[in-house]
Amino acid sequence: MNRKVIFLAGIVLFSLGAWAQGAPKPGPEVKKLDYFVGTWTTDATIAQGPWGVGGKFSSTETSEWMDGNFFVVSHSDFKMPPELGGDGKEMSIMGYDTQQNVYIYEGFNSQGHHESSKGTVSGDTWTWTSEANYDGQDVKQRSTMKILSPTSFSMKFEVSMDGTTWNTFMEGKATKK
């Protein structure tokens, strides 16, 4: 019985010590994600390519901090040509991986696609990279976002089969409401 009491007392003291230290605080890298919080509209042009004739792309995305301010959670509605998948919805999460020192993005859409990207920021430019498989073909993806102002950024989404030669899939601009 004495061992149980001592063990439980040790757990309580350890827990109180951890609690007294307070909750962790987001670092400066995480705070950079604050730029994306809010409601954004995107208008872009999808280039003609192996994926089809191209066309217009538009989306509205609302992003907010998850409790704790470590991750930004976004919900969006998008429209694009039917031959490229058509209209849909997406839910995504952005954060910062302190172990790998990279930004992370996980996106899931109503068309059954999942994207897992890693990102870096240099000055006013964010670069996200990922890999996907479309119809059995491995494809490398790169998205570049250049901040133009506190309420707008240009974006370019590119694809590559070999990681060397890149083709523009889509270019456009996002504006914060």
Per-residue pLDDT of 7-31, as tens digits, reads 555 555 555 555 556 778 999 999 9
Q: Which residue has the tokens 């950024």?
A: 153
DSSP code per residue over 156-167: EEEEESSSSS-E
What distance in Å separates the CA atoms of residue 60 and residue 55, rounded to the nearest whole number?
17
Please give the distance of CA 55 from its chain centroid, rounded to a whole number: 24
Average pLDDT over residues 131-145: 91
Q: Say whether pLDDT at 61 is over 80.
A: yes
Residue pair 144/156 in contact by the 8 Å Cβ criterion: yes
Confidence check: pLDDT of 53 > 80: yes
Q: How far is CA 121 from CA 31, 75, 88, 137, 141, in A?
A: 12, 23, 28, 29, 17
CA atoms of 41 and 153, how far apart (whole Å): 11
Query: Which pLDDT band holds residue 135 (cuts at 50, 70, 90)?
Result: confident
pLDDT at position 107 is 98
Q: Which domains does the chain have, with CATH numbers?
A: 26-176 (2.40.128.20)
The percent of residues above 90 in pLDDT, for the chain, comes to 77
In this prediction, residue 1 has a pLDDT band, given cuts at 50, 70 and 90, of low
Q: Judge whether residue 117 has pLDDT over 90.
A: yes
Concatenated DSSP letters of 43-109: EEEEPPBTTBS-EEEEEEEEEEEPTTSS-EEEEEEEE--GGGT-SEEEEEEEEEETTTTEEEEEEEE
51 vs 47 pLDDT, higher one: 47
Looking at the predicted structure, is the pLDDT value of residue 124 above 90?
yes
Per-residue model confidence (pLDDT) at position 133: 86
How far apart (Å, rounded) are the C-alpha atoms in residues 69 and 32? 11
For 123, the 3-state DSSP assignment is coil
Query: What's the rounded mean pLDDT across residues 92-109?
Result: 98
- Please compute the mean of the pLDDT values over residues 78-94 and round it to a whole number: 95
Task: Report pLDDT for 49.
Answer: 84
Please say if the pLDDT value at position 110 is more than 90. yes
Cα separation values, 28 from 32, 46, 55, 105, Å: 7, 34, 38, 18
pLDDT of 164 reads 94
